[in-house]
Structure 1
Amino acid sequence: MRPPADDVDGRLPVWQALGELFLDTEPDIEHLTGVCAESPYSLSELDRILFRELWPALRANLYSPAGQWAGWNDDWLVARVLEKQRPGSARRWWLNPLKLYHLSHWFGIRRAIARQRGSRSPASQ
């Protein structure tokens, strides 16, 4: 998988979709699943994008009592994700109590992505 800075166009739809998990609203799981299933990224690459790219960039929104709820501006999101790409930032998410919330959503989404990809006809894969 290419580094985020070299794959912004490919990652941006996935960043936007998975970014819904960090908003102060209920995520649109069907939309999120569809975007991720149509992406070129494997499930393990999607894990990496969520927890090593988005978590460091967007986790602060989860702590704000008046957090972002309308979505992320593309330019801001790209700049924020790329800015937060530094050694060690990804590992810290495992120490955070909010990980259980994200993991519970993510494991269900991950299964739905796998099901959606498995149900495609061979001609469309």
Structure 2
Amino acid sequence: MNNDDQLKMWRALSDLFLDTEIEDYIYKYVARTVSECGLSLAEAEEILWYEVYPVLEGNLRIITGVWEGWSDSWLLQNLPAPVRPNSIHGDPSIIKEIKRCWQCVTEAYESQNV
């Protein structure tokens, strides 16, 4: 994956961590981005959990989290996670919510690739 695709993927996945209600069009956007970047769902899920989640999951733990999105420059300065974790850690309710979001992305991906 080239640098442009990497940023594009981070940008799309970061939308799952906004302090907003996630609409169906976001899941479709993430699914479309996975396809456009030439990634499998498994590859994109690795990026989600090991590059994006460790940096952005904290946004879902604070009352006044980011809701309008992160700039490309911020994403480039802060992603991927500085240390690749061996497993997923954090608040169980946040992990459960991101897993639910990923399931919605998977369903959108599969429906566009039928």
- Please identify runs of 4+ aligned residues in structure 1 that moved more than 3 A: none
Q: How many residues align?
A: 110
Q: What is the distance in 2 between the residues matched to 1:60 and 1:35?
A: 24
CA contact under 8 A between 2:27 and 2:108: conserved in structure 1? no
* Structure of greater Rg: 1
1:44 Cα deviation from its structure 2 partner: 0.6
Give the number of the structure with larger relative contact order, counting CA–CA contacts within 8 Å between residues 6 or more apart. Answer: 2
1:104 aligns with 2:96: no
Q: Percent of aligned pairs with the same residue?
A: 30
* CA distance in 2: counterparts of 1:57 and 1:69, whole angstroms: 15
| Alpha carbons 1:8, 1:78 under 8 Å: kept | no
Deviations 1:44-103 (A, max 9, x none): 101101001100111111111100011110011111113x23143x5133x531111111
Distance 1:87 1:48 in 2: 11
Q: TM-score with structure 2 length normalisation? A: 0.84
The structural deviation recorded for 1:111 is 2.2
TM-score by structure 1 length?
A: 0.77
Q: CA RMSD in A?
A: 1.8
Structure 2: unaligned runs, 5 residues or longer: none
- Segments of structure 1 that go 5 or more residues without pairing to the other structure are 119-125
